[in-house]
Amino acid sequence: MHKELAKFAVYGADGHFHAAASRDRKLGGKAQAVGHFFALNLIAFLYKMRWDIEKVFDETKNKFNERKAWATSLRAKMQQALLLCMAHNLMLLLERTLEREEGIVDEKSSRKRAKRMRIIEEKLKEKRDLLNPLVPGLFRVTQRSLQFIRWLRIELRCPSPWPEAVDVLRPLMKAYL
């Protein structure tokens, strides 16, 4: 079947994303879907996951102040990347430990997220649409607050006993100071 792929279009009026459309002269120029169909909310969910990764890079660059490689060799750059990943994962472990053992969570981020979710749910209700069930189930704070990172830096440089450190952190996680 001869198809003229002169023009590609993206459309999604039926709630699905059609990868591209071709114009077939034999069909009078009628558009035909080419490629796969994806639910638009799945594409938005995948974009959100990609956005989370971007925010981790942003956190590394701006909050850790890691903008340049420490050296020029590939091995040194790989080591730096691994150290940054370990630092990020250690922060996540500390954050989870603080939540589990001390009841400390980033309340500022939780309030912002709850507000965003209410707005999204209201908009979907107006459209008589449903929230993708994957979205609420995959909640995670993508970035640590700068106050948390500053607290951690201070504690790493000049450690204080755990109860004192926790007492200093607690108000930082409730509101922006």
Q: What is the mean pLDDT of residues 3-15?
A: 46
DSSP 7-35: ----B-TTSEEEEEEEEEGGGTTEEEEEE
Q: What is the mean pLDDT of residues 24-49?
A: 63
- pLDDT of res. 38: 62
Residue 174: inside a domain? no
Most confident of 23-27, 74-78, 105-109: 74-78
Residue 23: inside a domain? yes
Residue range of the domain that includes 62? 1-67
- The model's pLDDT over 97-143, given as tens digits with 9 standing for 90+, comes to 999 999 999 888 888 888 988 888 888 888 888 777 776 766 666 78
Residue 31: inside a domain? yes
* Structural contact between residues 39 and 130, judged by C-beta atoms closer than 8 angstroms: no
Task: Kindly report whether the global pTM for this prediction surpasses the value 0.75.
Answer: no
Instruction: Please tell me the total count of domains within the chain.
Output: 1
CB atoms within 10 A of CB 75: 8
- Residue/partner pairs of 60-65 with CB below 8 Å, 24 or more apart: 60/84, 60/88, 63/143, 63/144, 63/146, 63/149, 64/149
Residue 63: inside a domain? yes
Indicate the average pLDDT of the chain.
78
Question: Which DSSP symbol is given to 106?
Answer: -
Residue 13 has pLDDT above 50, yes or no: yes
Residue 53: inside a domain? yes
